[in-house]
Structure 1
Amino acid sequence: MKHEDNTMSPEAAALEQVLHHDIPLTQAMGVKVLSWQDHQLRLHLPLAPNINHKSTLFGGSLYCGAVLVGWGWLHLRLKEAGIDGGHIVIQDGQISYPLPVRGDAVAICDAPDEALWKKFITTYQRRKRARLTLHTRICAQNSDDQAATFTGQYVVHT
């Protein structure tokens, strides 16, 4: 979430630090947290460090961005739920690339259905392990056109 003075919310700033510390590739990719608001996470993926031979965003970088925005979303929601010790891993993922990205991009993860979220939390609290499927997307920075769509199954365990 952005505050009125255009600074990041404390949650967004903390997530960016976690990403850069725990997943160093995010620094090389230039990943920045844009916002965390209404349970939607948005990450910035700049073209320059992720460019390919066609002057578009590299497919591997798009894949990483799609996985990372889901990972970050889950990290933030677990913190909100008071769960700090869980390890988040991607178990499975499928991506589609309908459009090239010729500039900077935004990776977006919206909340899944609230009933699925509650079932996930209940399962985790009971078994100390749970799976959640998240749908993420990547759009060119100033467009709603989806350049990549991703479905990932994330696992959280102690």
Structure 2
Amino acid sequence: MTQLALFQKRINDEIPLSRALGIRLLSWDGHALLLDAPLEPNRNHQGTGFGGSVYSVAVTAAWGVTELALADLGLKGSVVVQTGTIDYMDPVDSDFYVICRLPGDEVPDRFRKSLARHGKGRLDLTAEVFCGEPTTEPRGEPVAVFQGRFVVQDARS
């Protein structure tokens, strides 16, 4: 099983909401995580994406980047969201996808050093939500943007 398939199984087992939302992890290249979700189980009374569902899918993408980056460093730890906000620019009117990238496409040195010295660290991430066919190179503007801070504690090899 690939790293992404194992991680998909883990989030489905450990975060039941991810299964209900229909979250599918599509790609992880060590810099960016791409995932998608169908509109149908995530719609509101107006037939567009329910804000709480869109938020949950976006926070899952950013949390996933933190977890996967940690694994790529050969570490395990407890990852939680410390703060998170989302701006909704347009309605989610179709199946949607989220891209979350490491800042500057790499694990920040400050984060890496804090993990090494203290076994903990903070990572600020942005996850962008788009409608349509998933791609790592979207055309057009995101319909929502999540910004959050993730905390890693008890990092160890």
Gaps of 5+ in 1: 1-8
Alignment of 1:11 onto 2:28 = no
C-alpha distance 94-49 of structure 1, shift in aligned 2 (>3 A): same
Range with bigger deviation, 96-105 or 121-130: 121-130
Runs (4+) off by over 3 Å: none
1:57-113 per-residue CA deviation (whole Å, 9 max, x = no partner) reads: 1100111011100011111111110002x1000000111000101110001101213
Mapping of residues 46-125 of structure 1, within 5 Å: 46-84=38-76, 86-113=77-104, 117-125=108-116
Q: Which residue of 2 aligns with 1:39?
A: 31
Tell me how far 1:114 sits from its aligned partner: 6.0
Tell me how far 1:144 sits from its aligned partner: 3.6
After superposition, the CA RMSD in angstroms is 1.6
Highest RCO, 1 vs 2 (Cα 8 Å, sep ≥ 6): 2
Counterpart of 2:93 in 1: which secondary structure?
coil
Gaps of 5+ in 2: 134-138
C-alpha distance 28-73 of structure 1, shift in aligned 2 (>3 A): same
Counterpart of 1:146 in 2: which secondary structure?
coil
Q: Which residue of 2 aligns with 1:139?
A: 130
Residues 30, 72 of structure 2: 8 Å contact kept: no
1:103-126 per-residue CA deviation (whole Å, 9 max, x = no partner) reads: 100011012136761210110121
Counterpart of 1:113 in 2: which secondary structure?
helix
Counterpart of 2:36 in 1: which secondary structure?
strand
Kindly tell me the number of residue pairs found equivalent between the two proteins.
149
